[in-house]
Amino acid sequence: MKFALYIDYKKIGDYEYITLGAKTLEEAIEAADKIRLIKERGGKAVYLTRIMKKFGRTTKDHDMKVETYEAILCRRSEGWHRNTPENAEAVHIAQRFEAYGTEWFECQ
């Protein structure tokens, strides 16, 4: 399994995606918590974090790989919960592009 982390900072328009090397959801949660703590200790105020899971197939278009990720867990101030409308969370889907040794995410 592949996971990514979406971090939305309290500063408007400031966010980032990070690819996680985790193989299990438990490893992804542990990595996400460590990254969040490092960011906060570095002076970045974190609004929310989302663990995103790769779904579907990886596609290739010329020299570019494309993967799709969907948020499955969310954390605001305390604790993780499912990223579902029942928990007042919006669906969050992003695509990861990789070409020529560079990667970037685009939210859909």
Ordered DSSP codes for 18-38: EEE--SSHHHHHHHHHHHHHH
Give tens-digit pLDDT for 1-42. Answer: 699 999 999 998 899 999 999 999 999 999 999 999 999 999
Give tens-digit pLDDT for 17-26. Answer: 999 999 999 9
Beta strands in the chain (DSSP E): 3-9, 15-20, 46-61, 64-75, 80-82, 93-99, 102-107
Query: Vertex 15, ends 10 and 16: CA angle to 5°?
Result: 145
Which helix (H) or strand (E) segment is 40 a member of?
Answer: helix 25-41
- Residues 58/75, Cβ–Cβ less than 8 Å: no
Give tens-digit pLDDT for 72-86. Answer: 999 998 899 999 999
Q: What six digits make up the tokens of 84?
A: 């579902």
- Domain limits of the chain? 3-107
